[in-house]
Structure 1
Amino acid sequence: MQRIFDIDPWHIRTSQFDPAQRRLQESMTSLGNGYMGMRGFFEEQYSGDSLPGIYIGGIWYPDKTRVGWWKNGYPEYFGKVINAVNFIKVEILVNGEPLDLAKDTITDFQLDLDMRQGLLTRRFTLIRNDVKLAFQFERFLSIATKELAAQRIQVTNLSQAAVHLEINSVLDADVSNEDANYGTHFWTVQELQAQATQGYLQTETIPNDFGTPQFVLGVLMSNDCQGLAPQTGTDNGVSVSNRFVGELASQGQATLVKKTIVTTSRDYTREQLKTRAAELLKTVASQSFAALLAASAEQWAQRWAKSDVQISGDDAAQQGIRFNLFQLFATYYGEDARLNIGPKGFTGEKYGGATYWDTEGFALPVYLGIADPSVARHLLQYRYDQLSGAFHNAKQQGLKGALYPMVTFNGIENHNEWEITFEEIHRNGTIAYAIYNYTKYTGDETYLKAKGIDVLVAISRFWADRVHYSKRRGKYVIHGVTGPNEYENNVNNNWYTNFLAQWTLKYTLAQLPKVSAEKQTELAVSETEQAHWRDIVDRMYLGVDTETGVFIQNDDFFDKDLQPVSTIPREQRPINQHWSWDKILRSPYIKQADVLQGIWYFIDDFDTETKRKNFDFYEPLTVHESSLSPSVHAILAADLHDEAKAVEMYARTARLDLDNYNNDTDDGLHITSMTGSWLAIVQGFAGMRVRQGQLHFAPFLPQQWTGYEFRILFRGRLIQVSVTKTGSQLTLLQGEPITVDLAGKPMKLIAKEAD
């Protein structure tokens, strides 16, 4: 555990500048507005270690797959988010020498991410011989105008004498990715235009051999600098600059306000980019930095009003869940059905910025509870729109039906590790589970009947072709897979995978009679095919250890040397950073919930004894080196009334990045797993379940807390849940009356009339 920021309920702040932790600070102070985002790298020159990154939603590149030994069925490319034009860049020269915090002496350093309004602020005082200057940098990405990035830089001369100051505001297309094959630069500049206080730069992604559209960015900046004089704008072929120069008298101040508009070919034609950027800039040109910030902060306030979780008695827990919700919303709030939630969001290059199964498993249930149902529908629509890609993926493996990708931007598999890409097929079950989860929670079957059934049938056809019948067992089995526990590859009969395959077939069969005759004709699921599916459901092999009653994670798991995680020396953790892959694969250690993932999905379908046996067996073997792991264990521990373990796992999921638990936050935050803290409180501590269309709660309060409170949206109602040491209270804030079960007792909630 590594804590580099102060504990504060609404702020991520520190007064320590440690160059060795610069990347970690950059990750944790990332900003985003769903349309674009950036790491918290410095605006000005910094010669120390850093990972600059600005990313635009839906902008990516198919980088050619490079492997030593090609296998039939490999994807031809690995999709990745690419670093975009650096539009926050400034160059600051003091008496002709560049400001560089890697070299300069500074005091009074402060870094502050205000989560309430999405504002990043940095302050310090530069000491250079007789020069003493106070700097303040502020920036935000607007929620009110998604294409707008706003910056304000203030410099105050605390020296006795005047100081020569130069500020160059830059749009820089000379950017690259750290993980690019052979240092590839992904952008070519199409147009540059420089005026005294404005600049425009247009870039296009380089051509590719895979039919993926090339993307074009139009970036327009406007600069207003008080205290310094504008010079002639310049460009050098890859960047555009507005230069401001002057003598800053003792106690004098210079202020630069930079407004940048980013437009893309996802929304406009190439010819419209500059015109549309100019129109958008015109709408904000007369507004001050403070006014623009206030408009964006108001949008943040509306989001917080629906989603904020308030914890009393534990500021670290409070900060953790707000940080997670802030970064989740900064990545995705459902406005654009073409977008999804990458595991790193806009905070780093790792995982390529693509979509994983994390969204359906972990993010969708959170958005169901904190946002309009249209947000969850957009997530479902995203997968429906990519169904053709899922058919392609299955065909590549010689299989029928649809195989949804492990990693994707466009529905086509973008990942090239065989044991992940084509063995971790359990994600197909989670795509189906998301349709079930949405329908169960909302009570809305319109998506299921019109579109979801197409997805379910296609996935069911895949499962029916992927299983095979074992004469020896007299059961259907699935060989050559990787379960959620990626520390075991190419195993046979992963319990979770087999279980989800069986459940998907059963669920699809139950939904077919609900759809229209026209849709049934279109789907063409014959009686013979349905009979085959029923046979698989009835005779799917699900291993159970006869001695312990525990579900067997895969065929060979119980042959391992089953020593608990507590026997691993502390200095060898995390094991993925200290052990060889061979040693990990032979070990009994579990990266994340595997069997327990299935039990969590269907938590009401297993009796307490079954849940207890499996939890007590598998949790001690779990190293939680996947960011998705702690929340599942927190929820199951709470369900089993194991308060100590539930609280331990909540702390881990809530502060996974803030405390750098897995020593891997420097390359980006774990965005999709940030849903875990909300899930742990709402499904775990508060015991929220939906049973036969009714909302249930069974809350408990952790001993070290004095209370917690959250709001949840459910079928047109906004309900407030408050838990204190004196008991639990439910309040209907909006919507029609509703009966809710609280700790086994029905409670009718009626909203108070507005005064």
Structure 2
Amino acid sequence: MDTTDEFQIHLQRLPFKKATAIETVYALGNGHFGVRASNPLQGDNPDYPGQPGLFINGFYDLTALHYGEDYPGYPQNSQTMCQLPDPRFIVLEIDGLRSDDETFSVKQVDKNLNLKTGLLSEIYEITSPTDKTVRLTMQTFASQDDARIYGVAYSLSALNFSGNVKVIKQHRYTQQQIPQHDIDVRNVQRQSQLTCTYQEADHPTMQMITRKSQLAITLQVQPLKNDDQPVPKLTTQDQLPTYVTDFDLVPGIAQEVDFVYSIGFPHPVVIANADPDTVDQTLANETFSTLLNKSAHQWAIFWDNSDVELKGDAKLAKSIRFNLFHLNQAAGRDGMTSIPAKGLTGSGYEGHYFWNAEMFMLPFFIFTQPETAKQVLSYRYSKLLQAQQRAREMTVKKGVLFPWRTINGTEASAYYPTGTAQVHINADIAYAVDLYVRVTDDQDFLATQGLPLIIETARFWLSYGHYATDDAHHGRFVINDVTGPDEYTAMVNNNYYTNRMAQHNLYLAAHYARRLGQTDNNVIGKLGLTTTEIDAFQHAADQMYLPFDPNRQIKKQDDTSTEKPVWPIAETPRTQFPLLLHYHPMTIYHYQVNKQADTVMSDFLFPEDQDQAQLKRDYDYYEAITVHDSSLSRAIFGILAHRLDEADKSYQYFMDTALTDLTDAQGNVGDGIHAANMGGSWLSLIYGFAGLEIKDTTLHLHPKLPTEWLEMRFKLWFQHRHIGITINHQAVILENLKGKPITIQIGDKQVTLGSERVTVPFPI
């Protein structure tokens, strides 16, 4: 196994020691499930600090939402990803005292996460009420080779005694969640209602069923082969199947027992009585090491495709790898799940998927792991029916409206002004589909899934917007009563970002419908498209109203945004941020104050829309009124600062983005990682410092490294080519690692990249 320090996350080097934050940082997952790195004795015992748990992507329960005044179209249920029993959990028994009945002293000595292999190693010193201390060394991994497998190895040695210690593997509870008091509305705790039965199998198999969503999963545990080590005995305790391992410990000699969990995929209860979704036969001859090696091999493939190598700042380079590691752990890969806002590392945002999956995280996968990107987009396609039903609930007669926050495809946001009103999510999804198609040239996906997503979202805009008759907007296509990305400005007319994204969505619909219509009439026929409707997409896009302030010469965030007073940011105590936790929404809405990048988000996405002077005016105006209460914000401002050659600002924004979770900069990493911000750090590197753009079907780079770095190296997949890119302060070096020759634009120079390495010296 590789043990180079540049891939290691050492506990002693973290700037915080809060238990829940550490649990998040060292959480392991594989897109199907995630496990927090908690105290292994905790279980459901609140006497130990922390919030342990297993999370399964797409496994959720429903909780009724209650309103003082319940109006038509309000979501009736929230969806909450279940916090399931911790597979790390063990009970120690010493002198007849059990750690789940008595409080043992647990000292966390060390943790180390090997990002290169996905192996987490930990050391604890555990003292019983009778003052006997054992050293517990754990190793765990979430398999990247088989999405069901989680491996855990326990090694025990006595420090101050000789005698018997029992390790007990048993799960007497189904609800892992330990109540905690939290006023943060972003971390609502709702109790899942689970029932549990034990099925007849060669190894203990729990089947857990949610009471309202009626989903079922299986969770099986079995010991792994480990020669010359104590053998766990399967018995029954408290009417539950239990593995008990007897250790006769003496100081200085460690003994080990290894287990593997098989974590099933969610199924509707109607098929829950099928054969257990386990891997009994395939594990018969496996050991912890062989399973780990298979997983580590997949991590090696990931790093070969996705690593970003920075020279000149070792701490930053490690932080970037940490972000990419967690992004990879978070993404669903089955076409039925997406990327939760907190990944699979915590209960924040209830495990919901938002727009940030497509806009902040998906580009990383599109360029480095395109098959994963395809599966995340396929999740949206699988929810078209629910999105269509949501549009009809909102009395929109054609098209679809994707939910603002969801797991199962229905809306779960109870506060519509910053939930359902963020209809820009439709255009965000269409934008992501187009980016995927242009980068991968996956025409089969476009025809079968991508085009339906683009057409149905475009139909929504034709139904929801209208052609104005008032003097200010006469004849222009307008979209009223919406909320843009800035959640501190709600329910406005003509949010610039929303209108610009809708315009792009409509142009895409017209473009792809005409292009595919020339080659495959069946595709167009299945969608019921007519020439009249295609022309309507084009006309609405051409006439889209984009608000502009002629006096300030800036893009207006919405029709009336510049008429409001400006929030006194400098006079507001730092203890009052984020504002949403301290002020009524109406108070915030009364002012010009932005939670995050909004209008300038369109400047980032559509660089061809403005020259440098316009970008500078937009940037300066909106930077002054943005408080960055969302972790999504700084990456966008940093990229734009780079385009404006404001190197100091760009670098500071980037550093704040890249180090968010490893420094707990937001103070809430205990609730889970900031997955979209991690995606934003990759955007900052590739779209910012490397200057990536795609114009038509050509890859453009406008690179400029910060002076603090010596070199940056990365790889991209683009139109069936695998391209290696190295940028330093002297040149850009390009390699075509796989695929036919391709022409790339480097600054003002066109470079044809064949089998030979090409060096393009600065200036370019």
- TM-score w.r.t. length of structure 2: 0.89
Corresponding residue SS for 1:171 = coil
Q: Deviations over 1:131-155 (max 9, x none)?
A: 3432211111111222111111111
2 CA distance for matches of 1:651 and 1:295? 34
Preserved contact between residue 223 and residue 242 of structure 1 (Cα < 8 Å): no
Q: How far did 1:494 drift?
A: 1.1
Q: Check the 8 A contact 1:119/1:139 in 2, yes or no.
A: yes
Matched, 1:287 2:286: yes
| CA-to-aligned-CA distance 1:495-528 (integer Å, 9 cap, x gap) | 1112222232233223322223333344344455
SS in 1 for 2:648: helix
| Alpha-carbon contact 1:341-1:672 (below 8 Å) kept | no
* Distance in 2, Cα, partners of 1:35 & 1:166: 32
2-structure distance, mates of 1:183, 1:699: 47
Contact 1:173 1:187 survives alignment (8 Å): no
Partner of 2:465: 467
Instruction: Please state if 1:43 is matched with 2:40.
Output: yes
2:171 is paired with a residue whose SS is: strand
The answer to whether the Cα contact below 8 Å between 1:200 and 1:221 also exists between their aligned partners in 2 is: no
Offset, 1:315:
2.1
2:454 maps to what in 1? Answer: 456
CA-CA distance at 1:580 after TM superposition: 4.1
Could you list the per-position Cα deviations for residues 22-42 of structure 1 after superposition, in whole angstroms to 9, with x for gaps in the alignment? 111111111001221111112
Q: Which residue of 1 aligns with 2:628?
A: 624
Partner of 1:24: 21
Between the aligned partners of 1:194 and 1:748, the Cα distance in structure 2 is: 60
Please state whether the residue corresponding to 1:739 is helix, strand or coil: strand
- Alpha-carbon spacing, 1:586–1:240, altered in 2? closer, same or farther (3 Å): farther
What corresponds to 1:125 in structure 2? 125
1:748 aligns with 2:738: no
- Residue 298 (structure 1) aligns with: 297
Q: Equivalent residue for 1:595?
A: 599
Distance 1:148-1:522 versus aligned 2 partners, 3 A rule: closer
Secondary structure of the structure 1 residue equivalent to 2:256: strand
- Closer/same/farther in 2, CA of residues 127 and 727 from structure 1, 3 Å limit: same
- Report Cα offsets for 1:570-617 as digits up to 9, x if no partner: 343333344443433333221111101112121233222222211111
Residue-by-residue CA offset, 1:597-656 (whole Å, 9 max, x unaligned): 112121233222222211111122222221222222222222222221221121122111
Distance in structure 2 (CA, Å) of the matches to 1:18 and 1:496? 37
Partner residue of 1:236 out of 235, 238, 250: 238
Aligned to 1:636: 640
Equivalent residue number for residue 189 of structure 1:
196
Contact 2:345–2:673 under 8 Å retained in 1: yes
Structure 1, residues 434-479: CA drift from partner, whole Å, max 9, x if none?
A: 1221232234444334443322222222111212343222133322
What SS class does the counterpart of residue 273 from structure 1 fall into? coil
Distance in 1 separating the partners of 2:684 and 2:16? 34
Q: 1:182, CA displacement in angstroms?
A: 9.6
Q: What is the rounded CA distance, in whole Å, between the counterparts of 1:103 and 1:220 in structure 2?
A: 25
Please say if 1:15 is aligned against 2:12.
yes
SS at match of 2:204: strand
State whether residues 411 and 420 of structure 2, in contact with CA within 8 Å, keep that contact through their aligned partners in structure 1.
Answer: no
Q: In structure 2, give the amino acid aligned to 1:191.
A: Y
Q: Aligned in 2, Cα 1:231/1:509: closer, same or farther, shift over 3 Å?
A: closer
Q: Does 1:584 align with 2:591?
A: no
Q: Deviations over 1:182-214 (max 9, x none)?
A: 97442212225698xx423222222x2xxx552
The one-character-per-residue Cα deviations of 1:377-419 (angstroms, maximum 9, x if unpaired) are 3233222222111110100011122111112233222322211
Task: Give the whole-Å Cα distance in 2 for the aligned partners of 1:327 and 1:106.
Answer: 27
User: 124-133 or 345-354, which moves further after superposition?
Assistant: 124-133
Q: What is the rounded CA distance, in whole Å, between the counterparts of 1:352 and 1:713 in structure 2? A: 33
CA–CA separation in structure 1 for the residues paired with 2:188 and 2:457:
34
- Compute the displacement of 1:117 (Å): 0.9
Matched residue, 1:379: 376
The aligned counterpart of 2:428 is 430
Paired residue secondary structure (2:241): strand
Cα deviation, residue 85, structure 1: 3.5
1:327 partner SS: helix
Structure 2 vs 1, CA of residues 715 and 702 (structure 1 numbering), >3 Å: closer, same or farther?
same
What pairs up with 1:329-368 in 2 under 5 angstroms? 329-332=328-331, 335-368=333-366
What does the per-residue CA deviation read over 1:48-80, in whole Å, with 9 as the maximum and x for residues that have no partner?
331122012222222222222212101222122
SS of 1:71's equivalent in the other structure is: coil
Match in the other structure for 1:215:
216
Per the alignment, residue 310 of structure 1 pairs with: 309
Aligned match of 2:389: 392
- The Cα offsets for residues 236-293 of structure 1, whole Å up to 9 and x where unpaired, read as 35x532122343223343212112212235499544433x52xx23323433322221
Partner of 2:445: 447
Q: Aligned pair 1:736/2:740, yes or no?
A: yes
1:481 is displaced (CA, Å) by 1.3
Among candidates 203, 218, 235, match of residue 208 of structure 2: 203
The alpha-carbon distance between structure 1 residues 300 and 464, as it changes in their structure 2 partners (threshold 3 A), is same
Alpha carbons 1:116, 1:297 under 8 Å: kept: yes
Q: Could you tell me how far apart the structure 1 residues matched to 2:220 and 2:261 are? A: 7
Q: Any stretches of 5+ residues in structure 2 without a counterpart?
A: 180-186, 758-764
Q: Which residue of 2 aligns with 1:52?
A: 52
Q: Paired residue for 2:760?
A: none
1:4 maps to which residue?
none
Alpha-carbon distance change, 105 to 386 in structure 1, aligned in 2, over 3 angstroms? closer
Confirm or deny: 8 A CA contact 1:230 1:243 kept in the other structure: yes
Provide the rounded CA distance (Å) in 1 between the counterparts of 2:266 and 2:580: 40
Are the equivalent residues in 1 in contact too, given 2:199–2:207 (CA < 8 A)? yes
Q: Residue 273 of structure 1 aligns to which amino acid in structure 2?
A: D
Map 1:73-112 → 2, pairs under 5 A: 73-98=73-98, 109-112=109-112
User: For residue 115 of structure 1, what is the aligned residue in structure 2?
Assistant: 115
Higher mean Cα deviation, 394-403 or 58-67? 58-67
Q: Give distance in 2, aligned partners of 1:500 and 1:387.
A: 20
Q: Answer whether contact 2:513 2:534 (CA < 8 A) is retained.
A: no
- The alpha-carbon deviation at position 704 of structure 1 amounts to 1.3
User: SS of the counterpart of 2:252?
Assistant: coil
Question: What residue in structure 2 maps to residue 3 of structure 1?
Answer: none
CA spacing shift, 1:736–1:181, aligned 2, 3 Å = closer
Distance 1:477 1:493 in 2: 6
Q: Distance in 2 between matches of 1:251 and 1:377?
A: 51
Secondary structure of 2:50 counterpart: coil
Instruction: Look up the match of 1:147.
Output: 148
1-structure distance, mates of 2:136, 2:190: 34
What one-letter code is carried by the residue in structure 1 that aligns with 2:378?
Answer: Q
The 1:445/1:295 distance shift into structure 2, 3 A limit, reads closer
Secondary structure class of the residue paired with 2:166 = strand
Cα 1:172–1:721 shift into 2, 3 Å: farther
Q: In structure 2, what is the equivalent of residue 550 of structure 1?
A: 554
2:654 to 650, 657, 681: 650
Letter in 2 for 1:189: C
1:512–1:104 Cα change, 3 Å: same
Which residue number corresponds to residue 171 of structure 1? 171
Kindly provide the amino acid, as one letter, of the partner of residue 700 in structure 1. Answer: K
**What percentage of aligned pairs have identical amino acids?**
27
Any idea what the Cα deviations from partners look like across 1:324-365, whole Å, max 9, x if unmatched? 110111122x64112211111211122222322112212222
Counterpart in the other structure of 1:674 = 678
Distance 1:479 1:609 in 2: 29
Q: Name the count of aligned residue pairs.
A: 734
* In 2: Cα distance, 1:349 partner to 1:182 partner: 8
In 2 relative to 1, CA 13–100 (structure 1 residues): closer, same or farther, beyond 3 Å? farther
**Counterpart-to-counterpart distance in 1, 2:263 and 2:655:** 38
Instruction: Report if the CA contact (8 A) 1:733-1:752 is conserved.
Output: no
- Alpha-carbon distance between aligned partners in 1 of 2:735 and 2:172, rounded to the nearest angstrom: 52
SS at match of 2:752: strand
Separation in 1 of the partners of 2:561 and 2:52?
43
Task: Give the TM-score normalised by structure 1.
Answer: 0.90
Q: Are 1:131 and 1:163, in contact at CA under 8 Å, matched by a contact in 2?
A: no
